[in-house]
Amino acid sequence: MSSHTSNKVSIIGCGKVGMSAAYSLLHRGDVTELVLHGRSMPELVGEELDLEHGMSFLPFAKIMATTDYADLAGSDVVIVTAGAAQKPGETRLDLTAKNVAIIESVIPQVVKYAPEAIIVIVSNPVDVLTYKAYQIAGLPKGRIFGSGTTLDTARFRFHLSEFLHVNPQSIHAYILGEHGDSSFPAISSASVGGQPLMSMSDFSEERAWKAYEKARSAAYKIIAAKGATYYGIGTVVSHIVSKILHNTRSVLPLSIPLHQYYGFSGVSLSVPCVIGRNGVEETLEIKLDWEEKRRFEKSVTTIKQYL
């Protein structure tokens, strides 16, 4: 456990993503208090009971269903998953108008009742919403960020591992930029056990790009098949929260408001971030080749159109 005796985490928006995150968090055992915040009390109570009935097999945590923002008081981390979900055929950016309005109503309440909390934005389009939330919240840099391309990166490493025959956890390769169609793989700086990815015997540029394409189109494929993606992102959210609560200073590709990152500012995009008890504690300027810088700029331009 971290040095804190209590670890209170609140989830705003208890649909499939929020509840998958709740379920995953309880199984990790990092949380001592879990608040489920939403609009429909009967539904929330149902979710609370369903989770509580499994607690005799899990590390103990107090679970609370509420529609009142005041119950967020004392939260160490607040996760925002509230918002309209992506439908088949929609891009994440298609959700902008609906979900910006939700962020505008949620964030002031979070800041009012849980002013010390780290705020993690998960709702899409995550880069646009993270920057809007950052502007509204007025919190110190790093206290508010988005889940970004952490899931894209996990998918990418998994697909790379299939042809490299190496455990994905030993592959250091990021998908950066937008959590969406203008994302890109940072192949030039990727490595496996200290060896450049591009010099691995099984590497080919074509295979690497195929792995990226699979990672990028994964959400569309899952949404077309079963209507929504939630287990993958739920696991990612609990992973991020665990890194915060344990103050691990791990590096994850998170969506963070940029301040002169490769000369870019005034937008949130995913870059490698050191994460700990204070949220994002620093951003690492990964080495990008000329083509990757161009792709990064394309992501900046894409997101800025929606701000």
- Give the CA diameter of the chain: 57
Asked about 27 being catalytic, the answer comes back as no
Q: Give the count of beta carbons closer than 10 Å to the beta carbon of residue 83.
A: 25
Angle at 150 between CA 228 and CA 130, to 5 degrees: 80
Residue 196: cis peptide before it, omega within 30 degrees of 0: no
Residues with Cβ within 8 Å of residue 135, at least 6 apart in sequence: none
Matching residue, tokens 């646009």: 128
Residues with Cβ within 8 Å of residue 275, at least 6 apart in sequence: 240, 243, 244, 248, 249, 250, 251, 252, 254, 281
Contact (CB, 8 A) for 3 and 33? no
Q: Which candidate in 37, 159, 179, 239 is catalytic?
A: 179
Q: Give the count of beta carbons closer than 10 Å to the beta carbon of residue 54.
A: 11
Contact (CB, 8 A) for 36 and 65? yes
Which are the catalytic amino acids? 179
